[in-house]
Amino acid sequence: MKKIYFAVLALVCSNFYAQTKKDSITQMDEVIINENRFSTPISKQNRNIYVITSETIKKLPGRTLQEVLQYANGVDIRQRGPFGTQADISIDGGSFEQTVVLLNGAKVIDSQTAHNMLNLPLPVEVIERIEIVRGPAARIFGINSLTGAINIITKKPTDSGFLVSTYAGSNFEKDTQDTGDTFYGTGVQAGAVLGKEKQQHLIFASHDKSNGYRYNTAFENNKIFYQGNVQINDSNEILASAGYINNGFGANGFYAAPTDLNATEIVQTTFANIQSKHAITENWKIMPRVTYRYNYDDYRYLGNSNLTVGRSQHYTNSIAGELNSTVKLSKGEIGFGAEFRNEKIHSSNIGDHDRENVGLYAEYRTSFSEKFDVNIGAYGNYNSDYKWQVYPGIDASYAVTNDFKIIGNIGTSQRLPSFTDLYLKQTGNIGNTNLETEDAFQSEIGFKYNKKALSFNANYFFRKIDNYIDWMRNATTQPWQSQNTGDLKTNGINLRGNYRFDFSKDSKWNILLAYTYLDSDFKNQRTEIYSKYLISSLKHQITNTIDYQYRNFSVLFATRFNERITGPSYWVNDFRVSQSIKKFTIFLDAQNIFNATYYEVGAVPLPSRWFTLGAKIVTF
């Protein structure tokens, strides 16, 4: 398989080289990165940032946020269920609790457990881009951005219209352990957009249902999402969004394999956000924000057959307020802000708890010359459980030429233990109220090359995480307990290249190839010998997409290679072909086309080869 893949890749690359001199070149588009206080063109960024655009999302063989992110270099999506049912996310070898997710800059933090953090009522059709920020980002985004941040930016369509889409898929295997039915999955989505010069509104709803891909993996997922933008005048703008998702699924092997064969879980999430931008003067802007999130998690160890044994119910509420501001000076720009966050949980096996968090931001950005840029700042955090802590950071870049830039940054950040880490009381899992916060220090150096249709990034980083939290035990008969297990040191290399060009006005190629290497080592590790999460961190990762477009026809081949610290390595290859006729598009996805057997979490095998046929009409 490896030899075949690399032979195809080499052939395609050689063809690209042969065509370069005679074909026209497409200039890569500039993207503005939003960091709550500063907005910076990606070419001017001093950090390692990767952007997944809406055009890329359209071509990828996936229909959910989780499936899109699995093609991102350095991002580790570890799925328990298929097609976005449930997935953990981490960046560059961190744990699934150490990455913060944001929606238009508003933090999505699940204080119960980050297992539910990606349970968002967000269809991929409304995503304008996904910004992946590598490394500690406390001075930009605050708490829990220990190894990075993922900021999802939604569209602001200016044209009115509607969307209707549907799909159906199967692996053509039968459920021999239960019903004998062939496994399948179906879905339908509808949405409408009202786009005017001064206001834009969109609303989307979707229903996805499947009987699974093996015993007790069926799911039903319902979403609704609204967003409204109003431009009051040139100086004032309001953005509001709200959504609800009801996600029920079979949880066979999710947390206690093999005894949880019949387990089920229901997760319901409500998210609402209102934020605005106000230009007080030509040089002074303020940006207030209020965010609310409610999450209900109902885990049933024995499924619906006996709700009196092994059932866990968690009700989590969080509300946050934030005020950011920027002031342009004669030499540079100052950004400052403050945030308040209250988190509460009512739970059958965690108990009733609440905590408050206050954060203060201060940043300064300047250019010492046309080639030398510096961002420096700090985040001060007060938590009702952990008191005051301060996390500084600095980014810098030097443009050697117009096309070649050297970047470097030093950053610090923290992660607060979740309510599950602290207070869980189960037969097989016990929290630890003596946990300390995780603290990270990272230094990074690299370069960016961007000329016409070719871009290439190379970065090396060193990161140390103090008081790393994992769930440990001495023997298989003892319960798991959350522990500060020691200090984790990681050396990492990240390489990413993108090349695209035109054969003709109608014929276009694009190739993305990326590689990440991580070398992790524990210092001062405790004596526990079993770990839930650390032992399955990535060591090698390759992500690659090759796509070709001729007029309204496109075909994309995507491959992922993951080698973890323990366990077998695996290649997963996916394919999408689509054809558009005016506003109508039909597509065919083939996922895991070479039928690899692989696991991303514990003892949960992921689907075998799966085919999906779909169609949609988009008029905006």
Q: pLDDT (tens digit, 9 = 90+) per residue, 517-546? A: 999 888 765 555 677 776 678 899 999 999
Per-residue pLDDT at 156: 87
Q: What is the DSSP string of 152-195?
A: EEE----S-EEEEEEEEEE---B-TTTT-PBP-EEEEEEEEEEE
Per-residue pLDDT at 29: 54
CA dihedral angle for residue 84, residue 88, residue 90, residue 96, rounded to 10 degrees: 160
Per-residue pLDDT at 422: 96
Q: pLDDT tens, 562-584? A: 998 887 899 999 999 999 999 99
Q: How far is CA 330 from CA 327, 334, 538, 563, in A?
A: 10, 11, 46, 50
| pLDDT surpasses 50 at 13 | no
Determine contact, residues 553/560, Cβ cutoff 8 Å.
Answer: no
Determine contact, residues 124/64, Cβ cutoff 8 Å.
Answer: yes
Confidence of residue 62 (pLDDT cuts 50, 70, 90): confident
Q: What percent of the chain has pLDDT over 70?
A: 93
Please give the tally of structural domains in the chain.
1
Nearest to 334 by CA among 367, 315, 362: 362
Distance CA 248, CA 225 (A): 18
Per-residue pLDDT at 8: 38
Residues 6+ away with beta carbon under 8 Å from 11: none
Determine contact, residues 491/443, Cβ cutoff 8 Å.
Answer: no
Distance CA 500, CA 25 (A): 8
Which range marks the domain in which residue 361 is found?
Answer: 2-618
Q: pLDDT tens, 410-450? A: 999 999 999 999 999 988 889 999 999 999 999 999 999 99
Per-residue pLDDT at 449: 95
Mean pLDDT of 245-270: 93
Nearest to 139 by CA among 286, 335, 285: 335
- Better-predicted residue by pLDDT, 588 or 485: 588
CATH classification of the domain holding 533: 2.40.170.20
**Rg of the Cα atoms in the chain:** 24
Per-residue pLDDT at 370: 86
On average, the pLDDT of the chain sits at 89
Q: pLDDT tens, 169-219? A: 999 999 998 899 999 999 999 999 998 889 999 999 999 999 999 999 999
Q: pLDDT tens, 370-414? A: 899 999 999 999 999 999 999 999 999 999 999 999 999 999 999
| pLDDT surpasses 80 at 14 | no
| pLDDT surpasses 70 at 10 | no
User: Which residue in this structure is represented by tokens 């913060």?
Assistant: 100
Query: 400 by DSSP, 3-state: which?
Result: coil
| pLDDT surpasses 80 at 597 | yes
